[in-house]
Amino acid sequence: MTKFYGTGVALITPFNEDLSVDHEALKNIVNYNVENGTDYLVISGTTGESVTITKEEKKAIIATIVETNNGRLPLVLGIGGNNTANVIEEIKSTDLSQIDAVLSVSPYYSKPTQEGIYQHFKAISEVCPVDIILYNVPGRTASNMLPETTLRLANDFKNIVAVKEAGNNMGQYLRLLKDKPEDFLIISGDDDLALGVVLAGGAGVISVIGQGLPKQFSKMIKLGLEGKAKEAYDIHFKLMDIVGYIFAENNPAGIKAVYQALGLASDAVRLPLVPATEELKEKIKDFIANLG
């Protein structure tokens, strides 16, 4: 289970100007993260614009990342949705031989009850051949998977090994950390709260900004896991502004502006998202230039 400790990153899907997938940029991004301290890679999450990626594109993206990574880091694949039967079908029809875990979001839009959420993940657990990381992100799903439901799933299913908690609610994190089974991992999905969660006993983070500044961000999380709070917070304070910038308009427009400033990818996103404004891009460029 130590493979999901530290800094995981929710990779973007870089696009060419015609909005086709830029596989060369994707290879460069994978290498950049592998070489600069990232601990594992998350494919096709929200930050990867998964909702506007076709099935064929998703297969090709997975193939590029698997080939480029070449077994260097653990890989997590996003497979989730609000149609339980479709999620099960995708799990069954996807080659997961090179994938270490599936990241599966709590059902969005449908607003199921807590029992509905439990039954959704129970059905997925029963068919999934690899570990499952639950993903709670109420700001996007319009429903909150309560700690009681997460912990019930953690206790009932061996292959449900972690939760990416992204409710931006420190009280909810602490409730999970207090009551979780010993080997169940609480992973922060909030870049701004990640260090506090780690210092309270969390396993790490699945980060957005971490992929743009992997050296600094992964070092901060590593120091947190070692209990070196002061050194870790020194880095946290240096990165606070950029974390605010990348979420100021929409994700992943902000992190794509970071990659554009680094010369690693274009800032193109697919509708209904739009690129970051020039004003925000200038702030991001200035921050990167001054970070050293």
pLDDT in tens, 190-232: 999 999 999 999 999 999 999 999 999 999 999 999 999 999 9
**259, part of any domain:** no
Percent of residues, the chain, with pLDDT higher than 70:
100
Residue 135 known to be catalytic: yes
User: Which residue among 32, 40, 164, 180 is the active-site one?
Assistant: 164
**290, part of any domain:** no
- pTM of the full structure: 0.98
What pLDDT is recorded for position 252?
98
HSE-up (13 A, CA, CB side) for residue 111: 2
Residue 57's contacts (CB-CB under 8 Å, 6 or more residues apart) are 13, 21
**31, part of any domain:** yes
User: Which residue among 135, 173, 245, 259 is the active-site one?
Assistant: 135
What's the whole-number average pLDDT of the chain?
98
What pLDDT is recorded for position 137?
98
How many structural domains comprise the chain? 1
**99, part of any domain:** yes
**191, part of any domain:** yes
Mean pLDDT of 16-36: 98
**146, part of any domain:** yes
**262, part of any domain:** no
Structural domain that includes position 206: 2-228
Distance CA 262, CA 213 (A): 10
Distance CA 184, CA 158 (A): 10
pLDDT in tens, 99-135: 999 999 999 999 999 999 999 999 999 999 999 999 9
Distance CA 248, CA 124 (A): 34
Taking 80 as the threshold, does the pLDDT of residue 29 lie above it? yes
What pLDDT is recorded for position 292?
74
* pLDDT band per the 50, 70, 90 thresholds, residue 1: low
CATH number at residue 58: 3.20.20.70
What pLDDT is recorded for position 66?
98
* pLDDT band per the 50, 70, 90 thresholds, residue 2: confident
Distance CA 289, CA 79 (A): 36
Burial 205-229 (b: 16+ CB within 10 A, else e): bbbbbbbbbbebbbbbbbbbbeeee
**127, part of any domain:** yes
Q: What angle do CA 205, 99, 16 make, to 5 degrees?
A: 80
